[in-house]
Amino acid sequence: ANCGSIRRQKELELEVITGRVHGWDGGETLGTLGDVIRMGSVALLPDHRDRYLVLFPTTLVMLAVSPRMSAFIFE
């Protein structure tokens, strides 16, 4: 199960740096910010909205997932 979770994490990171992120205008993709140092999911209060925090070498980005879970949305 551990290998599966690591693989899923790496797939998410790859999707973030190579895919289109709705609302992002800082370049073609988030990959222009460099390598992902750390990525994790968080639940924001008060309504426990799930978000992803993505740490790049000089930038921290918060992303939501689209309602159909087909894309990331920059927040």
- Helix (H, G, I), strand (E, B), or coil: what is residue 50? strand
Q: Give the pLDDT score at 27.
A: 78
Question: pLDDT digit of tens for each residue in the chain (75 aa)?
Answer: 689 889 999 999 999 999 889 999 887 889 999 999 999 999 888 887 889 999 999 999 999 998 888 889 998
Q: From residue 49, how far is each of 13, 55, 56, 68 by CA, in Å?
A: 20, 19, 22, 15
